[in-house]
Amino acid sequence: MSGTAKIGPNAVLQHLPVLDAEIGEALRNALLYRAEIEEPPADAGMLPEDQVARLHNAVRLYLPDRAARIQRAAGLATGEYILAHRIPALAQRLIRALPAPLGARLLAAAIAKHAWTFAGSGKFRVVSHAPLVFEIAKNPLAQMGAHAPICHWHAAVFERLFSELVWPSTHVQEVSCSATGAPACRFRIGPAKAALSPETSDAIFL
């Protein structure tokens, strides 16, 4: 890819109905105005990552008490869109048919192949498979300073995909975040029963 880094339009589009339900269309339009971004058409192509980042940051800045809920809902909806329109039915059946560790590897490889659509100029990699850990270094959507991880949209996208195709009850924990000063955003993904406690996550991954 050359020129301005871009991110898929669902990083914006899936926020809109959630915002409409949370604050109403008029205030949602005001939020877009504050973020200096126009509402993309339903068939929009890839969007400049700085526009996407401005919307995500505006949600966090102007709706701090609701941002996590809003961005999680938008992320789950994005994952649903990917399942409906981007992963072929045959591939989905294959992943489901495999033992969970193999299915997780196959899905992780597919996500890595298309990481530019959600990481933009950030650098995505699969850190490990057991446990499964994703990393986005220089995440363009996590450049706003924060005291705790803020990548609820990314985490929810991963949760929806793995819940549907690998582990029916998937837990995604962002164990480090660029917004807090960490070198990269890292997401630990696995069945809910294997979720890490906050006390152990830092010792293992940071």
- Residue in 134, 118, 148, 142 with CA at minimum distance from that of residue 47: 118
| pLDDT band (50, 70, 90) for residue 11 | very high
Give me the pLDDT at residue 195, please: 53
| pLDDT band (50, 70, 90) for residue 1 | very low
- Residue in 78, 191, 87 with CA at minimum distance from that of residue 141: 78
Domains plus CATH for the chain?
A: 6-205 (3.90.1520.10)
- Residue in 11, 31, 35 with CA at minimum distance from that of residue 19: 31
* pLDDT digits 0-9 by tens, 129-166: 999 999 999 999 999 899 999 999 999 999 999 999 99
* pLDDT digits 0-9 by tens, 52-108: 999 999 999 999 999 999 999 999 999 999 999 999 999 999 999 999 999 999 999
- The token pair that represents 31 in the structure block: 């939020």
